[in-house]
A and B are shown apart, each in its own frame.
Chain A
């Protein structure tokens, strides 16, 4: 595909060569083979293992919900299975392309922040139908997106008025909805994994075989660009949805109700896990992934800057303890959250400008964010 890259005016290019001879010499063009290698390492060592973890965690959540609702054990295993599933989801929350788009899975697993504040009423609506036929897998797939996924399970488990297992007898109990919703999430995460790795046209193969006939990726560079945009989207989600609206302008104006996972008190844990998975996406380990290309180009300065920026940002997030819903209004803790916001903003900038540049990804002005 014919994408534009800034060609510097001749005079500026000359100055660049004269003043940074090392960098200019050590910056070979990134070729298709390198893009293909980045893609392969990200798929095999980053994406697929995370989708395996997610599918496993969701299956355990479904089992735990069934076991609890059948009276075989206490609620504790359900709580820890919910946390495990959320932990795993934070690892792939930023991946919006491919199987995550099919059947609107990403939205149905967590329609957040779009439906923030509406999960409670969506669950109440399901409970109020008192009609078990509304909970069949097919009916639930077509129910309100807000009632289908992990935030609905959070409401069922942690809402202040959560009354589990709920009314026995006819109609729909809270436990019935919990079991049905957990099964729905399990089915979606199993579908994600099998669409990536199984069937006649696994998405790993589609991503690994770009070409003119490939409806998703004409070139390996196209696929790298999509992966890069996911990394960027992850940082943007932290900044624009998880931090900025919650912190608002001041401690007095803070909006804890807008936080992610407010009922289960894991808003900051989500952010820490996001930052961890995004850093691992940059540097998959063993010198593969995006980091490989940066190092191949000899840009050790950028590589060190990114590693440091990810580490410091995560440390800031770890230094504040959940619940974030209280921390935003606390004079002691809030400054750390403001610092976190500044650091995420800076990290996003580095990724958007310097990393995109180092990867040779010409992300068009209108193509990236048109209207």
Chain B
């Protein structure tokens, strides 16, 4: 493993060029190694890891996992993250990113499993995780008290089946949850049980008590589009990425946005771009300006870039088995990871740029999501 010494140039660069960063973020980073830091699960030589990456592709930490990981929740104030098992996994690993070490393991309740996503409350005292109450076939949001050793202190209904991604809106009071709509059971791992009747939804919950504030669905003829992954912008726009469980060969929207009180806006004008995504979107992320969206399709070997406000397709970039996307430092640029190996920087002005740090020198399968810390 690499040394944890702070990369001074990177740090100074961030301090100089980041007037919008909160003081706590900068302090977290001052004690927390390179900035920005990216986190992703990967498989290497048959073993699963959660891995910290610098933006030049250097590996900062590499921690073995008991099984395949999925996504990562970032603590708002200190260098601490929680990496979740992929569904229907039951572990979540708390990592102190400055030292690159595991400081705690969270085990799912015996009658629950994780879906792979979670988020911290704005003050960093609570962790929320999407979970399956599989005996009742009901989605729940598990609640954990961070400073009590991540003790599970309660749960609230997700008001749908198969909650997957969840985010906290910038108002600090509202949680948005993507209920994918797909019922599963851990004894039939990864078998989808209700494709003919699935009903995905996007729901907004009051963070304080779980009150259902708003629920939106898709038009009836699109009920087989599983709403899976989310990103949020400071102005309250929620970006959503979908996976089409309907018959193959059809072209339906896979990317959209939503604002409270409105219908879901589906990006559906560019049939060619949608067709290239092969009915599957793996990850979605806003860029640093929150004006551009990257939506990946590992099945199509393509990462699509969209204008978030108009839904116009801007660009498609070929990345074989490309799935993880996260904002890069500059506006309108992204970091992307590939299951075939390789970490790339994407922009609107040229082909994907393969980063040449040690992350890409050794073959490894980068898993579904890469998340930016900061």
Give the B-binding residues of A (Cβ under 8 A): 1-4, 6, 9, 97-98, 101-102, 104, 107-108, 111, 113-115, 145, 215-216, 240-241, 245, 362, 364-367, 369-371
| Closest chain A CB from B282 CB (angstroms) | 5
B250 touches A4 (CB 8 A): no
Q: Is B249 an interface residue (CB 8 A)?
A: yes
| Closest chain A CB from B14 CB (angstroms) | 30
A104 touches B250 (CB 8 A): no
Q: Is B237 an interface residue (CB 8 A)?
A: no
Contact status of A241 and B282, CB under 8 A, knowing A101-B248, A215-B249, A365-B321: no
CA distance A215 to B192 in the complex (A): 24
B363 touches A9 (CB 8 A): yes
Q: Is B102 an interface residue (CB 8 A)?
A: no
B187 touches A245 (CB 8 A): yes
Contact status of A113 and B249, CB under 8 A, knowing A6-B363, A370-B280: no
| Closest chain B CB from A226 CB (angstroms) | 8
List the 9 closest pairs (A to B, CB-CB), nearest first: A365-B339, A364-B321, A4-B340, A4-B320, A366-B298, A366-B339, A365-B365, A366-B323, A101-B247
- Counted as pairs of residues, one from A and one from B, with CB atoms less than 8 Å apart, the total is 99
CA distance A369 to B368 in the complex (A): 10
Contact status of A366 and B368, CB under 8 A, knowing A215-B251, A240-B188: yes
- How many residues of B are in contact with the other chain, CB < 8 A? 46
| Closest chain A CB from B362 CB (angstroms) | 9
A104 touches B196 (CB 8 A): yes
Q: Would you give 17 A-B contacts (Cβ < 8 Å), ordered by A?
A: A2-B318, A6-B340, A6-B363, A9-B363, A114-B191, A114-B194, A215-B275, A241-B188, A241-B191, A364-B299, A364-B320, A365-B43, A365-B298, A366-B298, A366-B322, A366-B323, A371-B228
Closest to A104 in B: B196
| Closest chain B CB from A248 CB (angstroms) | 9
Residues of A within 8 A of B367 (CB): 365-366
| Closest chain A CB from B249 CB (angstroms) | 4
Residues of A within 8 A of B164 (CB): 371
A364 touches B298 (CB 8 A): yes
Residues of B within 8 A of A241 (CB): 188, 191
Tell me the chain B residues, 303-329 only, with Cβ under 8 Å from chain A: 318, 320-323
Closest to A364 in B: B321
Residues of A within 8 A of B323 (CB): 366, 370
Contact status of A107 and B191, CB under 8 A, knowing A365-B367, A366-B367, A370-B282: no
CA distance A108 to B196 in the complex (A): 9
Residues of A within 8 A of B79 (CB): none
Residues of B within 8 A of A1 (CB): 300-301
B321 touches A240 (CB 8 A): no
Residues of A within 8 A of B300 (CB): 1
Residues of A within 8 A of B301 (CB): 1-4, 364, 367
| Closest chain B CB from A258 CB (angstroms) | 8
**Other-chain contact of A371, B86, B196, B341 (Cβ < 8 Å):** B86
Q: Is B290 an interface residue (CB 8 A)?
A: no
Residues of B within 8 A of A2 (CB): 301, 318, 320
A371 touches B70 (CB 8 A): yes
Residues of B within 8 A of A367 (CB): 280, 298-299, 301, 321, 339
Q: Is B57 an interface residue (CB 8 A)?
A: no
CA distance A6 to B247 in the complex (A): 30
Q: Is B195 an interface residue (CB 8 A)?
A: yes
Residues of A within 8 A of B187 (CB): 245
Q: Is B190 an interface residue (CB 8 A)?
A: yes
CA distance A104 to B322 in the complex (A): 30
Most buried by B among A98, A101, A365: A365
Tell me the chain B residues, 235-259 only, with Cβ under 8 Å from chain A: 243, 246-251
Q: Is B93 an interface residue (CB 8 A)?
A: no
Q: Is B103 an interface residue (CB 8 A)?
A: no
CA distance A291 to B252 in the complex (A): 36
Given contacts A1-B301, A365-B339, A367-B280, 9 further A-B contacts (CB under 8 A): A4-B340, A97-B248, A104-B196, A145-B196, A240-B191, A364-B321, A364-B339, A366-B322, A370-B298
CA distance A2 to B250 in the complex (A): 20
Q: Is B332 an interface residue (CB 8 A)?
A: no
B188 touches A215 (CB 8 A): no
Contact status of A4 and B338, CB under 8 A, knowing A365-B43, A370-B298: yes
| Closest chain B CB from A296 CB (angstroms) | 25
| Closest chain B CB from A109 CB (angstroms) | 12
Q: Is B189 an interface residue (CB 8 A)?
A: yes
A114 touches B321 (CB 8 A): no
CA distance A369 to B249 in the complex (A): 19
Residues of A within 8 A of B250 (CB): 215
Closest to B280 in A: A370
Residues of A within 8 A of B142 (CB): none
**Other-chain contact of B195, A98, A107, A365 (Cβ < 8 Å):** A107
B275 touches A369 (CB 8 A): no
A107 touches B188 (CB 8 A): no
Residues of A within 8 A of B139 (CB): none
B282 touches A3 (CB 8 A): no
Residues of A within 8 A of B159 (CB): none
Q: Is B170 an interface residue (CB 8 A)?
A: no
A366 touches B188 (CB 8 A): no
**Other-chain contact of B247, A9, A102, A111, A371 (Cβ < 8 Å):** A102
| Closest chain A CB from B135 CB (angstroms) | 14
Tell me the chain B residues, 356-372 only, with Cβ under 8 Å from chain A: 363, 365-368
Residues of B within 8 A of A3 (CB): 301, 320-321
Closest to B272 in A: A212
Closest to A9 in B: B363
| Closest chain B CB from A303 CB (angstroms) | 26
Q: Is B83 an interface residue (CB 8 A)?
A: no
Residues of A within 8 A of B368 (CB): 366, 370-371
| Closest chain A CB from B111 CB (angstroms) | 18
Q: Is B87 an interface residue (CB 8 A)?
A: yes
CA distance A4 to B282 in the complex (A): 17
Q: Is B193 an interface residue (CB 8 A)?
A: yes
CA distance A309 to B368 in the complex (A): 33
CA distance A2 to B302 in the complex (A): 9
Q: Is B116 an interface residue (CB 8 A)?
A: yes
Closest to B251 in A: A215
Closest to B87 in A: A371
CA distance A6 to B339 in the complex (A): 11
